[in-house]
Amino acid sequence: MSKPQEIPPGVAKGTLRDNLEVVCFAVLLIMFYKTFVGQQFTIPSPSMRNTLQIGDHVLVNKFLFAAPQWRWEERLFPMRRPARGDIVIFRYPGNREEDWVKRCVALPGDTVLIRDKRLYVNGKQVTGPWEHHLLKRGEGPVPGPWPPERDAGPQERFPPGFAPPLQWPHADPAAHSGYEPVFGFRDNLGPVTVPPGHLLALGDNRENSADGRYWGFLPMDHLRGRPFIVWWSFREGGNDDTNANVPKNPGDVFMNFLDGARHFLTWTRWERTGTIPR
């Protein structure tokens, strides 16, 4: 029987060093993935309901809308410009620390008109099952399409005596939070032309979305990516109407984890988990 080969002195790393190297490599791999490849986001509000529900945990392709510097990048990676109809994750122009999700409905050079809640791009109506409207107070959003002859519910008007702003958008997004929409722009807007380097993003839940109708066009360099799968869907508060808690500190992260662990079996939307948002 041969004698086991001995490791020369100083070569053996030891258990502690070996484990530390594995942990450091894993951390670097995760940081690289989150920075350049993909990231997990949680839908906190009903602005995209029912396309995306509150509590949907989505994985986002972050390099899809990246601007390639060399031609080989375009050939090697599936990069492209955003297209009409894409669901996009972006940094909100009024506060770049916040990530929002909406649907791209118009691109640079497009002429946009909203009349009686109907969206027209370059003279053609754009609608589909993803467009939702609230027909009655207290009821959930109803899916489209919404041809002109279909009743889309009551419209929002400028209040009596209110002097509408002379220009749209009514304010610089950086000057306000974006959560206080001015009446009147929601259901009737334009026509306006999308400027170069921008797009127009709207929420699918049209009566409950603080989107481009209120704060203007979205700069393309604010785009973070496109969600490609709902890997887990969790009913916050046990229902479809409770907004998700966006963690602001380690305590919030712990409480979210505790909630998920306690109610995993009963609050998970099993029918949505693994679906592809469109």
Q: Looking at the domain assignment, is residue 125 inside a domain? A: yes
CATH at residue 171:
2.10.109.10
The CA angle 104-138-163, to the nearest 5 degrees, is: 60
**Would 1 be classed as within a structural domain?**
no
The pTM assigned to this predicted structure is 0.78
What is the pLDDT confidence band of residue 147, given thresholds at 50, 70 and 90? very high
What lies within 8 Å, CB to CB, of 79 at 6+ separation is 63, 64, 65, 66, 67, 68, 73
Residue 186 confidence class, pLDDT cut points 50, 70, 90: confident
Say if 275 falls within a structural domain. no
The per-residue pLDDT for 36 is 47
- β-pairing verdict for 189-193 and 111-115: antiparallel
8-27 tens-digit pLDDT: 555 555 566 555 655 554 44
Name the residue with higher pLDDT: 182 or 74.
74
Closest among 153, 157, 161 to 206, alpha carbons compared: 153
The Cα diameter of the chain in Å comes to 100
Within-domain flag for 272 = no
- Residue pair 207/142 in contact by the 8 Å Cβ criterion: no
More confident residue, 270 or 166: 270
Q: Give the residue-averaged pLDDT of 103-128.
A: 95
Instruction: Identify which of 48, 54, 210, 236 has the alpha carbon closest to the alpha carbon of residue 143.
Output: 48
Instruction: Report the Cα–Cα distance between both ends of the chain, in Å, rounded.
Output: 65
How much is the pLDDT for 8? 57
- 204 is written with which tokens? 């699918």
Question: Which of 135-139, 180-184, 273-277 shows the lowest mean pLDDT across its residues?
Answer: 180-184
For residue 202, the enclosing domain spans 45-267
24-69 pLDDT, tens per residue? 544 454 444 444 455 788 999 999 999 999 999 999 988 777 766 6
In a domain, 243, yes or no: yes
261 sits in which H/E element:
helix 250-262
Is 6 part of a structural domain of the chain?
A: no
CA nearest to 145, candidates 123, 120, 117, 126: 126
Q: Which residue has the tokens 């492209």?
A: 80
Number of residues in the chain: 278
Asked if residue 148 belongs to a domain, the reply is yes
Total domains present in the chain: 1
Q: Dump pLDDT digits (tens) for 251-265.
A: 877 888 888 888 888
In a domain, 140, yes or no: yes
160: confidence class by pLDDT, cuts 50, 70, 90: low
Highest-confidence range of 4-13, 30-39, 88-97, 99-108, by mean pLDDT? 99-108
